[in-house]
Structure 1
């Protein structure tokens, strides 16, 4: 198969899966969790609670004035996502693992960006994990995709740095996806 078509299909599948799963779970959160008390599962390890976040990760920047949040989280993030997608689709130096990693980051970012555009600058969050008093902030499926993508990018960078230590993996001189 033509490497460009393969990459386009791979990126399209990851983007569609990421955005689709995130938006579907957010719609469930809106319909089932809004105006309801938090629900606990697995002995309290998993909590589902409806929240809307006007900031970035862990509400960072949520206290910025509204125009600053708009320009930073909608305009700048939108441009960065678009530039990353163009790079992802056109660069010949990106291996398969990095393609999947960047597609997860772009998909998660795009889904949260879409929320901001259609929800007056707010992103729907609904998942909390933790044991006892040690808990995460509230997050969503898009945030998980972004974190998995970042983890895969770190793994890909390590593999490219030490290609001899990982037999069967693509190094910097191998053909990209």
Structure 2
């Protein structure tokens, strides 16, 4: 693999994503009382009850899905499979020079967020989630973290780029 500005950009986006996520989780773990089986934990309203910080250890994936799987299946689904997929995506973006800049940023953000959450599962046995948004029942999220924000942002960018390319082809 030749080290180019493009390769540097990919690894820079991945690294910044991981660092922002891990620093935010360290701050949350050190400053916010966690929710446990016997305690609801600390809830810190940032913008009234619409944006709340809390400390929740998620042993599953998105919204806790998979947390009740047996240990072997959880290892496969939440660690091995994501590592393999992230490796393939990284290989793809490093080798396919036709990927547009927005998609390159999106894929790099997804890889960085994925690595950050996989790291948590390996080191801590769970992923620290801490953001919660509730816009008066109109829009409500699960509890999430910066890695989730990176993955979701990357997916939205890919969707937007894909739809833009499709619309451009239809008008030609």
- TM-score band by shorter chain is 0.7 to 0.9
Once the two structures are superposed, residues 41-97 of structure 1 have per-residue CA deviations (whole angstroms, 9 ceiling, x without a partner) of: 211111111001111111111111121111111111111111111111111231111
5+ unaligned residues in a row in structure 1: which ranges?
Answer: 167-177
Aligned length: 163
User: Partner of 1:61: helix, strand, or coil?
Assistant: coil
**Pair 1:63 & 2:68 matched:** yes
The 10-residue stretch of structure 1 (35-44 or 94-103) with the greater mean CA deviation from structure 2 = 35-44
Structure 2 counterpart of 1:16: 15
**2:162 matches 1:163:** no
Superposition deviation, residue 6 in structure 1: 2.5
Secondary structure of the residue that 1:47 maps to in structure 2?
Answer: strand
Cα separation, partners in 2 of 1:12 and 1:165, compared to 1, 3 Å: farther
Deviation readout 1:3-44 (Å, 9 max, x if unpaired): 971221221121111101000000001001134511112111
- Post-superposition Cα deviations, 1:107-134, rounded to whole Å, max 9, x if no partner, equal 11110011011112x1110110112345
What residue in structure 1 maps to residue 37 of structure 2?
Answer: none
Work out whether 1:6 is the aligned partner of 2:11.
no
Distance of 2:169 and 2:122 partners within structure 1: 45
Q: Secondary structure at the match of 2:53?
A: strand
2:58 counterpart residue number: 53
Give 5+ residue unaligned stretches, structure 2: 35-40
Q: C-alpha distance in 2, partners of 1:165/1:15?
A: 33
Match of 1:76 in 2: 81
Question: Which residue is equivalent to 2:33?
Answer: 34
| Partner secondary structure for residue 126 of structure 1 | strand
TM superposition score normalised by structure 1: 0.85
In the alignment, which of 119, 123, 130 is matched to residue 127 of structure 2? 123
Using the alignment, how far apart are the partners of 1:142 and 1:157 within structure 2?
22
Match of 1:137 in 2: 142
Q: Given the alignment of the two structures, is residue 148 of structure 1 paired with residue 153 of structure 2, yes or no?
A: yes
Q: What's the Cα RMSD here?
A: 2.0
2:106 counterpart residue number: 101
